[in-house]
Structure 1
Amino acid sequence: MSTTEEDHSTVPAPVGPVDPTKHIADPGPLGLAGFAATTFVLSAVNAGLVPKSVEPVVLPLALFYGGLAQLLAGMWEFRKNNTFGATAFATYGAFWLSFAFYVWQFAGKIPASDAATATGMFLLVFTIFTAYMAVASLRTSVALVAVVTLLFLTFLFLTIGEFSGSDGIGKLGGWLGLVTAVLAWYTSFAVVLNSTFKRTVLPVVPLAPN
C-alpha cells in the first residue's frame, strides 16, 4: 500500500440514521394518566357510585389534567412521529376541554326538552372517532386495544342512554368508563415502570414490530 493512501480500515461502518427524537421522553403515560383520572371521576358519577352533586369536581380535572395535559401529550406525540398517539391524545384532550366548556357555559342555556339530545350529539361525534381509532389500535398493543375498545363501548352506551333517556344504559356506560380508566392507568403505569427499570416489568404486549 502506498504511504500516501489513506487507511480507512479503522473507520466505523455507517449504522443508519439517528433518531432525532430519541432524547424526548415518551408522552404516552402522561396522556393516559390524565385521561384515566378524568374518566374515572366522571364515570363514578355516571355509574351512580357517588352523588350527582359532586360532578362539578370533574371540571377542573377536565380543564387541566384530562384536557391541557393530554393535549400537550398529543403535541409531543407529533414530535415523536406517532400518528396514533398524537391523534388520540390531542382529540381526547380537546374532548375534555370542550366538555368542561359545554357544561360551564352552554348546558344551562339549552331547553330541558332538548338537553339530552344536545348531550347525545356531543357524545356521538366522539363515539364515531373512537370507533375508527379502535380499528387503528390493532397495530399498537393489547393494552391499548383494550383501552380504546372499552372507551368506544363507554361512549356508545352513554350516547344511547342520552338519546333514549334510559338511566340504566347511562349507568352501564359509567361502569364501562370505570373499567376503561383502570386499564388506562395500568397501561400508563406499565410504560413508566418498564421505562424506569429498563426492562419489561408489566406487559403491554406489542402487536406490531417497532
Structure 2
Amino acid sequence: MKLANPAPLGLAAFAFTTWMLSMHNAGWFNGDAVPLVLALAYVYGGTAQVIAGLLEFPRGNTFGLVAFTSYGAFWWSFALFIQFFANQVPASFIGWYLFIWGFFTLYMWVAAFRANRALQLVFLALWITFFLLAFGIWFNPILSKAGGYAGLVTAMLAFYLSAAEVINEAYDKTILPIGSYQNIA
C-alpha cells in the first residue's frame, strides 16, 4: 500500500501562514491584519502542519515528523501568545522565543543537507528569518522589517516545494525541479 505524501500539505500550511504574518512584519499591513493571521495560525499553520507531521510517522520520516509538528506547535503557541498574553511579556523575552526557534531551525537546516536543495533553501531562509526577527527586537527594529522580507522569501520557497511535490507526483515526472540530493560519499 502506497502512503500519500503529507509534506505538500505541511509545506503549504507553513507557507501560507508565514506569508501572511511576514506581510505584517515587513510593514505592508498594520496590526489590524493580525486577527486573520491568528485564525490562519490556529487552523492551517498550526493544525494542518501537526496533522502532516503525524502522517509522516507511518512513513518513517523522523525529519518530517519533527519539523511539521514543531512548526505546527509554533503557530499555535504564537497565536495563543498574541491573542492572550502579548502585553504581559517583556520584548526581550519575546526575542529569546524567536532566537530559540531560530536555533532549532538552524539544526533542522543541517539535517536537511540530506534532503533536496529546495528544502535546504526553505530552512536556510527560515533560520535567517527567526534570527532577524529576534535581533530586531533586541537591537534595531529595521531588522524586524528585514525579517519580514526574509519570511516572504521563506514562504515563496515553501510554496514552490509544496507545488513541486504535488505536481511532480501527479505527472509522475519532474516538472518543477527541487534539486534532488545526490549522495557523493
- The residue that corresponds to 2:95 in the other structure is 120
Secondary structure at 2:10 match in 1: helix
Give 1:34's aligned residue: 13
Q: 1:207 aligns with which of 156, 175, 181?
A: 181
What are the equivalent positions in structure 2 for 1:28-177 lying under 5 Å apart?
28-110=7-89, 114=90, 116-164=91-139, 166-177=140-151
Q: More helix per residue: 1 or 2? A: 2
Q: Which amino acid aligns with 1:175?
A: Y
Q: Which amino acid aligns with 2:163?
A: F
Residue in structure 2 matching 1:184, options 149, 158, 161: 158
Alignment partner of 1:79: what SS?
Answer: coil
What per-residue deviation string (whole Å, max 9, x for no partner) do you get for residues 140-196 of structure 1? 0000000000000000100111122x2200000000000000010000000000111
CA positional deviation for 1:208: 4.3
Displacement, 1:118? 2.4
Letter in 2 for 1:179: V
CA distance in 1, matches of 2:182, 2:55: 21
Q: In the aligned structure 2, how far is the partner of 1:64 from the partner of 1:159?
A: 25
Distance 2:169 2:17 in 1: 24
* TM-score, structure 2 normalization: 0.95
TM-score norm. by structure 1 comes to 0.84
SS in 1 for 2:42: helix
Give distance in 1, aligned partners of 2:37 and 2:51.
Answer: 19
Question: Which string of whole-angstrom CA distances, capped at 9 and with x for unpartnered residues, describes residues 70-100 of structure 1?
Answer: 0110001111101111111110000001101
2-structure distance, mates of 1:208, 1:124: 31
Kindly indicate whether structure 1 or structure 2 has the higher relative contact order, using CA contacts under 8 Å at least 6 residues apart: 2
**Cα distance in 1 between the residues matched to 2:38 and 2:80:** 8
**Number of residue pairs the alignment of both structures matches:** 183
- Unpaired segments ≥5 residues, structure 2: none
Structure (1 or 2) with the larger CA radius of gyration: 1
The secondary structure found in structure 1 opposite 2:57 is: helix
What is the root-mean-square deviation in Å for CA atoms of aligned residues? 1.1
